[in-house]
Structure 1
Amino acid sequence: MLLPKSFHFLFFTFFFVLNLFAQDKGKTMPLKKIINDIEQQHQVSFNYTEDNIVGLKLNPPEKSLSLDQKLQYLTEKTNLSFENIDNKFINIYKKENPVLKICGYVFSGTDKKPIENANITLSNQTHVTTDSDGYFEFEKENVTTFLISHIGFITKKSTAGNSNSGNCLKFILEPEITQLQEIKANAILASGISKNTDGSLEIKPKKFGILPGLIEPDALQTMQQIPGVNSLDESVSSINVRGGTHDQNLFLWNGIRMFQTGHFFGLISVFNPNLAHTISIYKNGSSAFYGESVSSVVAISSTPETLEKNSFSAGINMINADVYGKYNLSKKSYIEISARKSITDFLETPTYKEYFDKVFQNTTITDFSQTQNVDYRSDKKFDFYDATLKYAQKIGNKDQIVLDLITIKDNLEVFQSATAYGIIRTENNVLRQQNYGGNLSWKRNWNPFNITKVNIYNSSYELLADQKNTYENQLVIQENTVNNNGFNLENNHIINSKFTFNDGYQYNEMGITNLERVQNPDFYRKVKDVLRTHALILEGKYNDTISRVYFKAGTRINYIEKFEKFIVEPRIQFNYGISKSLSLELLSELKSQNSQQIIDLQKDYFGIEKRRWIISNNTTIPIQRSKQLSLNLFYKKNDWLLDIEHFYKKVTGITTSSQGFQNQLEFVKTTGDYEIWGAEMLIQKKMNHFLTWLSYTYNHNNYHFPRYEFPVFPNNFELMHSVSWAGIYEKNNFKIALGTKWTSGRPKTSPDISQIDLANPVLVYNKPNSTNLHIFSQVNISSTYKWETEKGIQYKLGVSILNILNRKNEISEYYRVSTITNSIEEVETFALQRTPNMSFRVSF
């Protein structure tokens, strides 16, 4: 009995032990399976390379153990190290590996989630990427720095440590918000001119092609080709945008308001065409950051978007010569200088002669000679110049300071004498016009989403006339000066790739002085007015190029200290792309203006530049206010372009003195408004190297002076119909443009002959502006050719002819009583006759 019992005991004991051994051997499993089970149980993530764990098998740790106990168990059973990171990530690496390693995790700065497939670029040009947990590692070796990048995020630079720290690094990448670029329609009217989604036209002079009659990218001459923009007297000092007067336009040069815009009393722009980098023109819907204007805005910036290489150029035409130079002082600073001067001091070209005859016709200068019949002589001296200076300096990676200076001057001296019946009469006339300006701006990029711009500016303008008459022993001095100072603050905030928000503050101080002094008889009057305004600006923009929606809304809240008056000016720009080829645009704005130009007497300042600046007094000289609405349909496809725009505009607070009347309203002082509505159309086709376009403008423009006997009548600046056509050919370095312009005659007021006593004539007029001048028609041509030498020196030759058919176009007409003949005479003013011009330029 004992034997079987012992046998049974030993048998069962052996079987139990064998079963335990068999069970232990059956629990062995791959390490990868063990760490997967631990990941699921403890919600952690292991990071490892397959080479480190491949082929390893062992018994799994008890499930009841803690995470650290399990890691300790695995460390003892394997030749591996397990690094616990915040009980979330566990790094596995071999103990015996002597190579130093750098490891890290990359997270998003917005939602703190791991970034997968982020690119780690090492200084030895090798690359690693992050896994789904944002983890990466690499052998340190000789790596000192590395870059972490991913599409949609700002690249980050880091320095590798001197040794393993035992802890992985953590990196936060901030999203890179790139604003969607506004869609532009390029080559409007000519290459280098484009239309922006906000409704503005943008001119890039350095990319400018050619337009009929122009051989240089003159900003103010070019804008007269735009439908809705005219100059009734061919002057850049009298640009009328949708029926407005020239002073109702805001002209800015690098943030400086310019009160003088023309040389040669309006025939040449004061802005050097070889300098400007961007010219933006707004007929309507301008930004809330633009104030002091009830009509258009012309903003000229000579600051390049990127740092350009050193350059120098010099040129000459039949009116002036100029030089331009840009020199990079360092990688972060440069200086830019330009200067231009007339050549009329020593050379009177055919172009100068036509300009002179155009400017001085029917002025006191020519009146003096026309009334003499014997022994008349005249000595005249005319010259002008302009110069600019820019200094730009970047400070670090976030700040930039720019200093801009500009000076402009026109000077005319005329000495006239005549002897009749033994009596000598002489006059010595001096007329000077000048504008100085300076702007200091600071720009700081706080981060990729916030930018601050600050600028302080000054603009000083002077118009001076000095007339000495020896026959009457009389001295007449007239002076008009403007001093404009201001401070602007603008903040730009990028909320996301589609939405931005801007806010700012502007302070503006304007002082205007008018002086008149006469000897024999003695008279003296000096009036100085100062007006200070504050403006708060808020503006938001939504731009989604995918859904083709652009919407910008802003408001400008003005406060005028002197009148204790608030004026709110909302602005709206809306553009919707109906399709890729067709878009609908809606623009609307309310604006105000506290200064204007008036004419006291048509013979002021010799009748050449007879307008003087004044400030509103909120009573007899009201604050001008405007409201405007326009609806535009724009189509562009297969090199066809069609632009149709309907608009409505009303300006209140105008005075009769500001409208240049030369009829019964010349000496009437009253206030009113003008109201204009119409349509503008442009159709354009491009065929290889050939571009042609046709534009048409219809305006219905009326004054409303409620206290005048004829309260409603046509505006002095109404051109009911205007048509322009151009054909432009550009191939390689050769360009040629032929074009014509046709407008219905401007309104005029004729005398009522039936009520005039011819024996003792006194002017009696019909209803104001009841008739029109004859049709204006002009054909212009221009051509340029450019070539370059092997050394990189560029030469450019240009030729133009204005009014090649030599048509005699009447641009104004008025009537006066002649003291010599005691009769009523008609005084007509004509546009330029055939006027050639030629230019030559060298650049390197």
Structure 2
Amino acid sequence: LYKNGTNIRYGEGVSGVLDMRSKNTLSAQTEAGLGFNLINGNGFLDLPISGKASIQVAARKSINHLWESPVYKNYTKRIFQDSEITNVENSQNNIAINTDEDFSFYDVGTKLLWEVSEKDRLHINFLTIDNSLDFTETLETTSQSKTSKLDQRSLLGGISWHRSWIDRMETTVLGYGTYYLLDAINRDIFTTQEQKQQNEVLETGVKLDAALKLSEKLKLQTGYQFSEIGIANTQDINLPRFRDYEKDVLRTHVVFAGLNYLSKNQKTFVAGGLRGSYFTKFDDILIEPRLSLHQKFANGFAVELLGEYKSQSTTQRIDFESDFLGIEKRRWVLADGENTPVIKSKQVSAGLVYNKRGLFINAEGFYKIVEDINIANQGLQNQFRFSRATGNYTVRGGEFVINQKTAYVSLWASYRYSKNDYGFKSLMPSTFPNNLDIQHSATVAGSYSWQALKIALGLNWHSGKPYTVPLKNAETTTEGGITTIQYDVPNSERLPNYFRTDFSAEYLWKLSPTIDAKINFALLNLLNTENTLNIRYALIGDENNQVSVNKIEEISLGITPNFSFQVLF
């Protein structure tokens, strides 16, 4: 996990980086597992093909088409709790409407590992993910029904070749392709209108990494990356006839180089380098320096200094609950150098670390600014909802973490303070709290392990996120026969504080020398605390065509148990 000081080989993103990898070593014997929980069934297989090759396969499939478990019903209720309100907003004369949602998903991943020679390794990866939602509305008076659909699919594939040329040098070449499709159709229950939307993302690329050990203390890291991203957005309405199709393509060349230094006594580690990106479409070059410094002192103390510049050429356009299908969805858009610029970030952090005899303490301060963001992609639900202003947001604060480990027990606690503000010069006011401005957050948790049993309990608390309320005594205004909501100062109110307690337990049961059974039980929101996640406002009309403002609250999941059982071979 890189929160700051990210390795120079990683780009295309202004947030942190989570480097997740599946197993990269050959298996000497077959390993497999089959299991289920109250949401899906799953399985995996790690099969040696020969002494130099093995294949890994893993898959999941939702089980709600067989049985809608209480967990599935809880999640469905949470996700679609706004649907009835949305239908009232869009209905004519408040005619009663029944709704039904049918959701399913599956994913399959495979990986082939082949040791071609003592110096060469070949890996081939493939992953597919599919999510499908059917959303049916039925008029109670006539039993007329129409079904809208929302499908989301992803395909990913890649092939990599790793070679150790000499004792001090190794290279990796990766060729990859990814495809993403969001396909939606909304059928109006009162008319014959159909609205279709598609969002397609196709990315192909090549990455070359090289590492050269210059000495026992110094290592050179360098590489080249090329990517081509194409994003297409389609909107098609049959009545009145309208069709809009946009496609953008961006090609990016990246070179990077850096040095890693580790002192002989392993107390000093410094990683620094530069990453340069060239965007051919708008002939722009970005230089991104990265730095990570870790210095150990006596008695378990150490200091850290991290800094980085990063950039991102893709972002998401948000369609809210009342816009489409009664749910929120997000569509990818590509930077064009004008209305949607490349997003850039700068951040620095410094911290003090103590790590000795099972006790870990970390205290750090941080500052981050993200520039050239488009407010349309920030999910605002107030007077700036349809604005296209470009600006920035700034985050500064501090974090404290403590963790104590023994042979059987692990206890940890954390506290974070941060202040996150938008800055848009063309808006009034030009500065106001970010949608994600959670100023105080704390976590306390513990786990206990004894033989085959593991249990854990965690408490999560944070202060409320900001939201915007309508103007008091002047909630609406009407111009040209169109009524709109008049909002107060943006993000000037706060949601109630959030609190949740979770519990989990795991037991590993040895059925035979080669077969194990793993049983897991979890309780999300153990105390059944009702947390308000979001508040928004919408117009609603009554039978006399009088329009008023309706307050809509999004509530968190209540107590939600889950159970899983897995057999491991």
C-alpha distance in 2, partners of 1:824/1:761?
10
CA contact (8 A) 1:597 1:612 kept: yes
Residue aligned with 2:386, SS = coil
Q: Deviations over 1:383-410 (max 9, x none)?
A: 1000001111111211111100000000
Residue 551 of structure 1, CA deviation: 0.5
C-alpha distance in 2, partners of 1:374/1:645?
56
C-alpha distance in 2, partners of 1:480/1:604?
16
C-alpha distance in 1, partners of 2:285/2:299?
43
Return closer, same or farther for 1:376/1:620 CA change in 2, 3 Å cut-off.
closer
Residue aligned with 2:44, SS = strand
Are 1:727 and 2:452 an aligned pair? no
CA contact (8 A) 1:365 1:606 kept: no
Residue aligned with 2:73, SS = helix
The correspondence for 2:525, drawn from 785, 803, 806, is 803
Residue aligned with 2:485, SS = coil
Return closer, same or farther for 1:735/1:350 CA change in 2, 3 Å cut-off.
same
Are 1:669 and 2:394 an aligned pair? no
Q: Deviations over 1:27-61 (max 9, x none)?
A: xxxxxxxxxxxxxxxxxxxxxxxxxxxxxxxxxxx
* Letter in structure 2 aligned against 1:405: F
Residue 425 of structure 1, CA deviation: 4.7
The correspondence for 2:291, drawn from 560, 563, 572, is 572
Residue aligned with 2:341, SS = coil
Are 1:406 and 2:131 an aligned pair? no
Are 1:440 and 2:146 an aligned pair? no
State the partner residue of 1:336.
56
CA contact (8 A) 2:27 2:46 kept: no
C-alpha distance in 2, partners of 1:780/1:689?
20
Return closer, same or farther for 1:809/1:581 CA change in 2, 3 Å cut-off.
same
Are 1:382 and 2:107 an aligned pair? no
CA contact (8 A) 1:427 1:467 kept: no
State the partner residue of 1:32.
none
Are 1:786 and 2:505 an aligned pair? no
CA contact (8 A) 1:318 1:839 kept: yes
- Counterpart mapping for 1:320-399 below 5 A: 320-363=40-83, 367=87, 377-399=98-120
Residue aligned with 1:357, SS = helix
Return closer, same or farther for 1:375/1:791 CA change in 2, 3 Å cut-off.
same
Q: Deviations over 1:772-827 (max 9, x none)?
A: 00010111111010011233211111110111111110010011111236211101
Q: Deviations over 1:686-723 (max 9, x none)?
A: 24412111110101110000010100111100100001
C-alpha distance in 2, partners of 1:771/1:396?
63
State the partner residue of 1:294.
14
C-alpha distance in 2, partners of 1:364/1:521?
26
Are 1:629 and 2:323 an aligned pair? no
C-alpha distance in 1, partners of 2:84/2:532?
20
The correspondence for 1:419, drawn from 121, 140, 145, is 140
* Letter in structure 1 aligned against 2:73: K
* Letter in structure 2 aligned against 1:386: D
5+ residue gaps in structure 1?
1-280
C-alpha distance in 2, partners of 1:784/1:594?
42
CA contact (8 A) 1:745 1:772 kept: yes
C-alpha distance in 2, partners of 1:482/1:833?
36
* Letter in structure 2 aligned against 1:570: P
CA contact (8 A) 2:476 2:486 kept: no
Residue 756 of structure 1, CA deviation: 3.4
Percent sequence identity over aligned pairs = 33
Residue 830 of structure 1, CA deviation: 1.0
Residue aligned with 1:341, SS = strand
State the number of aligned residues.
562
By percentage of residues, which structure has more helix?
1
CA contact (8 A) 2:288 2:310 kept: yes
Residue aligned with 2:19, SS = strand
Return closer, same or farther for 1:318/1:793 CA change in 2, 3 Å cut-off.
same
Q: Deviations over 1:48-92 (max 9, x none)?
A: xxxxxxxxxxxxxxxxxxxxxxxxxxxxxxxxxxxxxxxxxxxxx
Residue aligned with 1:611, SS = strand
TM norm structure 1: 0.65
TM norm structure 2: 0.95
Return closer, same or farther for 1:366/1:786 CA change in 2, 3 Å cut-off.
farther
- Counterpart mapping for 1:60-75 below 5 A: none
C-alpha distance in 1, partners of 2:52/2:85?
52
State the partner residue of 1:490.
209
Residue 365 of structure 1, CA deviation: 8.8
* Letter in structure 2 aligned against 1:651: V
Return closer, same or farther for 1:582/1:364 CA change in 2, 3 Å cut-off.
same
CA contact (8 A) 1:385 1:408 kept: yes
* Letter in structure 2 aligned against 1:510: I
C-alpha distance in 1, partners of 2:121/2:308?
32
The correspondence for 1:814, drawn from 536, 540, 554, is 536
Residue aligned with 1:301, SS = coil
C-alpha distance in 2, partners of 1:356/1:678?
36
* Letter in structure 1 aligned against 2:72: Y
Return closer, same or farther for 1:364/1:513 CA change in 2, 3 Å cut-off.
farther
Residue aligned with 1:574, SS = strand
Root-mean-square deviation over aligned CA pairs: 2.0
State the partner residue of 1:617.
336
CA contact (8 A) 1:645 1:680 kept: yes
C-alpha distance in 2, partners of 1:324/1:677?
43
State the partner residue of 2:489.
767
Residue 330 of structure 1, CA deviation: 1.1
By percentage of residues, which structure has more strand?
2
Residue aligned with 1:717, SS = coil
State the partner residue of 1:832.
557
C-alpha distance in 1, partners of 2:326/2:264?
53
Q: Deviations over 1:211-251 (max 9, x none)?
A: xxxxxxxxxxxxxxxxxxxxxxxxxxxxxxxxxxxxxxxxx
CA contact (8 A) 2:306 2:348 kept: yes
State the partner residue of 1:516.
235
C-alpha distance in 1, partners of 2:550/2:28?
59
Return closer, same or farther for 1:380/1:467 CA change in 2, 3 Å cut-off.
same
Residue aligned with 2:325, SS = helix
